[in-house]
Amino acid sequence: MIEEGEIEQGDLQREHAHRVEEEGEDERETETPVGQVQELQEEPSAQVLRKPRTDHASERDRIRFLHYQLFLHKPEPLLSNGLSHGSSRDDRRFSPRRRYHAERPEPHRGEGAHDEEVGEGDGVQEGLHLTRVIVAMPAYNEERYVASTVLKCRKRYDEVYVIDDASKDLTSEMAGRAGARIVKHEKNQGYGGALRTAFLIGKEKKADCLVILDSDGQHDPDMIPRLVDPILKGKADLVIGSRFKSRSGMANIPKYRVLGIQAITQVFNLGTNMSLSDSQSGFRAYSRRALEHIMITSNNMDASMEILFDAKEHNFRIKEIPIVVEYDKVEGSSEDPMGHGFRVLSRTLRLVRERYPMRFFGYAGGALIFLIPFVILYVRAYHPVDTGFMALGGMYIVMVLGIVGSFLFFTGIMLQGVTRFSKRLIDIMNE
């Protein structure tokens, strides 16, 4: 016979076993599916947390929720597309809206910039543009001064090129030791050839500004930022260092050079309707737009004039900055000053004739026609008509002046029309 205490104890054991079995079924019913757990674990900023159970109701109704770890992880720099390294676009909906940017300070254009291409892996926002200023100097047998000039340039700018035009001395070696990048011509190509090489470097390197200065110590590299600044601010396409913008700039220039430079400059101004003060300065800064449009064909020193004519045709904004040139450093020039002056003047007249024929022929024809009244007055005052021969000679002079002047004037008009038509045709073909 079974006692009552034993029956109650057996019932309790069976009830406990039944309850354990029900709890196991409940756990299986409320367990999170494996796929959902894996999906949640893949989320970098989310984790599955279980709320501690207090009774049967809470055990059957377990709550699964996401916990965002806001600002608890080290922020990664954003790429240009708004994503961090190793993330995908789908991760953005689980990431905080707060953005962390790896800011890279933009170097001042006047201080130069390294060769850096901004890509997706650089941690820089799209639109951040690093400016690039390149300094180039043509050199021919300038071993004495080229190193000091390069060192002064490298105080502010990293990319300094020396275009060695087949020098016979140690120009390349001295420039290289000073930290310049050397481009050496196998054969002497002249000043114009060195400028073409410098322009090619500027275009290939996609420079925002190309600075050209002499390597013989005449130009002060500390003046470069003053030439570069208008270019980088978008106020000019070509900046010229002028020796005639201030009295101090003219102080060291020999008198014969002043006369020659002024004569060439005035011919250029009359031919192009411009008002430059120094058309022969080799200290200049060019914008990227100028590098893309200027074409240098001359190999001689008159290439600087060719550049100015191209700048006029393309409506470049030209600005002049006062500079001081140290002529005392230079013992002698690689080219005869007088011969150089006549060649440049001849080249300037030829460029005016080719590109602005109306001004060239029109001015000449107009000047001849302008002389006719003075010839008539002279003849009537000193050689009356009844004297015979001299009066007849005066009439011949008037007729020649009128015919030649009219011919030149109308020739200029016709050639100007042909020139404009040719330019228009070239523009259409380029489009």
Residue 87, class by beta-carbon neighbours within 10 Å (0-12 exposed, 13-18 middle, 19+ buried)? middle
Q: What is the pTM of this model?
A: 0.63
> What's the pLDDT at 154?
94
- The gap between the terminal CA atoms of the chain, to the nearest Å, is 116
How remote is the C-alpha of 238 from its chain's centroid?
11
Q: CA-to-CA distance for 340 and 194, rounded, in angstroms?
A: 17
* 26 pLDDT more than 70: no
Find the helix or strand (DSSP H, E) in which 320 lies: strand 318-322
Q: Confidence class of residue 123 from pLDDT cuts 50, 70 and 90?
A: very low
* 36 pLDDT more than 60: no
For residue 119, report the phi and psi dihedrals to the nearest 5 degrees.
Answer: -125, -175
Query: Residue 347: which of 308, 295, 292, 312 has the closest Cα?
Result: 308
Q: In Å, what is the CA distance from 72 to each residue of 46, 55, 75, 84, 94?
A: 12, 33, 9, 16, 14
For residue 235, how many other CB atoms are within 10 A of its CB?
Answer: 12
**DSSP states of 76-87 as a string?**
PPB-TTS-BTT-
For residue 52, report the phi and psi dihedrals to the nearest 5 degrees.
Answer: -60, 135
Q: CA-to-CA distance for 327 and 304, rounded, in angstroms?
A: 19
Query: Residue 322: which of 223, 415, 406, 407 has the closest Cα?
Result: 223
Q: CA-to-CA distance for 207 and 201, rounded, in angstroms?
A: 8
Contact between 213 and 288 (Cβ < 8 Å): no
Alpha helices in 42-112 (DSSP H): 56-60
Find the helix or strand (DSSP H, E) in which 151 lies: helix 146-154
* 202 pLDDT more than 80: yes
Handedness of CA 114, 118, 124, 127 (dihedral sign): positive
> What's the pLDDT at 343?
86
> What are 239's strand-pairing partners?
285, 319
Q: Confidence class of residue 14 from pLDDT cuts 50, 70 and 90?
A: low
- Tokens read off for 73: 């992880």
Could you say which DSSP state residue 139 is in?
A: E
Query: Which residues have a Cβ under 8 Å from the Cβ of 110 and sit 6 or more positions away?
Result: 133, 156, 224, 225, 228, 229, 232
* 103 pLDDT more than 60: no
Q: CA-to-CA distance for 266 and 364, rounded, in angstroms?
A: 15
Helices 337-355 and 303-313 pack at an angle, to 10 degrees, of 30
Find the helix or strand (DSSP H, E) in which 184 lies: strand 181-184
* 109 pLDDT more than 80: no
> What's the pLDDT at 263?
92
> What are 66's strand-pairing partners?
48
Query: Residue 282: which of 110, 137, 144 has the closest Cα?
Result: 137
Q: Confidence class of residue 16 from pLDDT cuts 50, 70 and 90?
A: low
> What's the pLDDT at 170?
94
Q: CA-to-CA distance for 32 and 30, rounded, in angstroms?
A: 6
The more confident residue out of 245 and 328 is 245
pLDDT tens, position by position, 265-303:
999 998 898 999 999 999 999 999 999 999 999 898 889
Find the helix or strand (DSSP H, E) in which 50 lies: strand 48-50
